[in-house]
Structure 1
Amino acid sequence: MLLTLILILAQVIVLNHVCLWGVAVPMAFIYVILRLPLTLHLNYVLTFSFLLGLIIDVFSDTQGMNALACTIAAVLRKPVLRLYVLREDELGDLMPSMHSLGTAAYVKYAVTMSLIYCTLIFVIEAFSMFNILLLIARIVCSTLLTTLLLICIDCITVNPGEKRL
């Protein structure tokens, strides 16, 4: 809960104002969605993700774009995780992290979820101003920056008692 609050504040106060090379925007708050326990019912995950996105929208003046992107990312997180985890029967009580999934699987998971989120948020935004090369650059650079940030956050928030696959 404290980490969620810290990431929301960091996103709203600092990271929303960071735009590297005019294209890369870090989205640290999606780490919370990625780390939700897989045992949570989908309704809770969707509600939490929607509210998380809505909070970011309120403070970023983005009119529901983050709420939509967070909700879709929440729907897709379990199917995406299944792509990279070989033993699906052990996914039940797992909290996705580098420690529990292993480095390779977690990095693939983080890259894919970052790509999904960044693609959604920038495509939604591009409906008003469309430049395909800028759109692709923003998606790729923001995905890479967000993934790097997610991996750093995960390394900092190590929980040694987590179940490993």
Structure 2
Amino acid sequence: MIEETALPDVKVVTPRWFEDHRGAFCETYNRKTFAKHGIYDVFQQDNHSISAAANTVRGLHFQAPPHAQGKLIRVVAGVILDVAVDIREGSRTYGKWVSVLLSAENRKQLYVPAGFAHGFVTKTPDTEVLYKCTDIYAPECEGTIRFDDPEIGIDWGIDPGDAILSDKDAKATGFAAFSSPFVYA
């Protein structure tokens, strides 16, 4: 099942699981099924993130053209609050965000197309996140926006002072100083 969110093109994907006496099986990605729902991306890279502690914040990240990335995110252990922010200049939802709780238990996935910043906060220790990307990692194209920027106003469900951040994320640009490489078409 693929559901729309409050942000155009960001979608919640709930794979259909088949269970029997042996265990369970699902397709986490099927190009034909996704295309029926307007997702035509072809994925180029898979990533696996492990966060030891709850309150670990990763993001808000994006890659600019020519290596802009769409992502398909899922959790295989633990729980995250996953967030997408529209950073497409000229979009009616520019600077707006949506969040979805993803967990190993609920088995939901979030599809975040290029033109959106992405981040998450872990709600449990030892959280493992897998995500597919539509382009390769290109450090010269990466960008970061401050996770707790008041202009965006994301409710992460934690006190920002309790967030565990990388050095890169702690030094991220605020939204007011941000110049988007994306234009809404």
TM-score (norm 2): 0.28
Greater fraction of residues in strand: 2
TM-score (norm 1): 0.31
Structure label with greater radius of gyration: 2
